[in-house]
């Protein structure tokens, strides 16, 4: 039996979700299946994953993929559940908009996307625009999280058309040459252009300077997978970059080394 990779769109009917939908359709996904997940916010805050029951439904105006996306299989799913929990499950790529209506925003936490990005349940793309990805900056810091994010990008079916810049910042704790070499190697089979760029100083500041100069379509970052009260913290490199840039952002963490006490 053929196993198809799965792409999930978090759909709350907002303009941000529309941008995420456009982002998906600007890329080609041969052999992938798409799940469009719509969750109704609830006041029941019990974090019981067994209660998340997504079921098929027929929206009034279902999302229909563009022919160019090459997506053949689409399933609309819904549930009465906090959207953050409904989207907290394993998949090959989760795509969400930057902001939208929902429970997290009502609680002054910003958005479902902000809550999820502290500990992505899967490789997660936060769409800031509806354009195709032609350029990407991949941030390398020698961590397993950065490698997980780079592997996620390398697995995209449209990776061969992306010009990649791998960036490492020398802050005295990172072997930048090794970090760049490790990440660059992940794209060896992608048949794509990869160049290197380094800087010295405070990582978040230097990354922002480089991103301002590069203006990539996509920024790829590892995040440390904060849990519990730690995910409420603001100011991590991934968090600051995601808030500051106009690019779409791909985040991932390596669950085998996720550290609830770190703030990276």
- In angstroms, rounded to a whole number, what is the distance separating the alpha carbons of residues 63 and 238? 30
Residue 47 confidence (pLDDT): 54
CA-closest candidate to residue 239, choices 256, 255, 253, 254 = 253
Give the architecture-level CATH label for domain 5-127: 3-Layer(aba) Sandwich (3.40)
Going from N- to C-terminal start, the domains of the chain cover 5-127, 135-252
Q: Give the CATH class of 135-252.
A: alpha beta
Q: Do domains 5-127 and 135-252 have the same CATH topology?
A: yes
* pTM, rounded to two decimals: 0.87
The per-residue pLDDT string of the chain (264 residues; one tens digit each, 9 = 90 and over) reads 456 899 999 999 999 999 999 999 999 999 999 999 998 766 655 555 545 588 899 999 999 999 999 999 999 999 888 888 889 889 999 999 986 544 344 333 347 888 788 788 999 999 999 999 999 999 999 999 999 999 999 999 999 999 999 999 999 999 999 999 999 999 998 889 899 999 999 999 999 999 999 999 999 999 875 444 344 343 478 888 988 999 999 999 997 864 543 334
Q: Which pLDDT score, from 0 to 100, does residue 43 have? A: 60
**Residues near 258 by Cβ (< 8 Å), separated by ≥ 6?**
119, 145, 224, 225, 227
Distance separating alpha carbons of residues 150 and 145, to the nearest angstrom = 9
Q: Residue 237: what pLDDT?
A: 83
- Residue 168 pLDDT: 97
pLDDT at residue 263, as a whole number: 35
């Amino acid at each position: 039996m053929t196993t198809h990779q799965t792409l999930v769109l978090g759909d709350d009917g907002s303009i941000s979700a529309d941008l995420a939908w456009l982002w998906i359709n600007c890329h080609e996904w041969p052999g992938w299946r798409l799940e469009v997940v719509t969750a109704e916010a609830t006041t029941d805050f019990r974090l019981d994953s067994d209660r998340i029951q997504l079921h098929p439904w027929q929206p009034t105006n279902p999302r229909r993929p563009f022919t160019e996306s090459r997506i053949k299989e689409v399933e609309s799913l819904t549930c009465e559940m906090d959207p953050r929990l409904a989207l907290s499950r394993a998949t090959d790529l989760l795509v969400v908009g930057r902001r939208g209506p929902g429970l997290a925003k009502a609680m002054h936490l910003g958005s479902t996307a902000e809550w999820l990005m502290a500990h992505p349940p899967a490789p997660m793309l936060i769409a800031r625009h509806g354009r195709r990805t032609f350029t990407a900056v991949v941030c390398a810091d020698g961590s397993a999280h950065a490698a997980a994010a780079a592997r996620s990008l390398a697995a995209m079916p449209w990776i061969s058309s992306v010009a990649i810049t791998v960036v490492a910042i020398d802050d005295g704790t990172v072997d930048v040459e090794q970090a760049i070499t490790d990440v660059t190697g992940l794209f060896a089979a992608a048949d794509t252009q990869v160049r290197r760029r380094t800087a010295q100083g405070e990582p978040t500041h230097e990354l922002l300077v480089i991103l301002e100069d590069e203006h990539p379509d996509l920024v790829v970052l590892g995040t440390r997978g904060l849990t519990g009260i730690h995910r409420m913290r603001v100011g991590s490199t991934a968090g600051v970059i995601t808030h500051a840039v106009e690019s779409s952002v791909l985040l991932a963490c390596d669950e085998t080394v996720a550290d609830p006490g770190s703030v990276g």
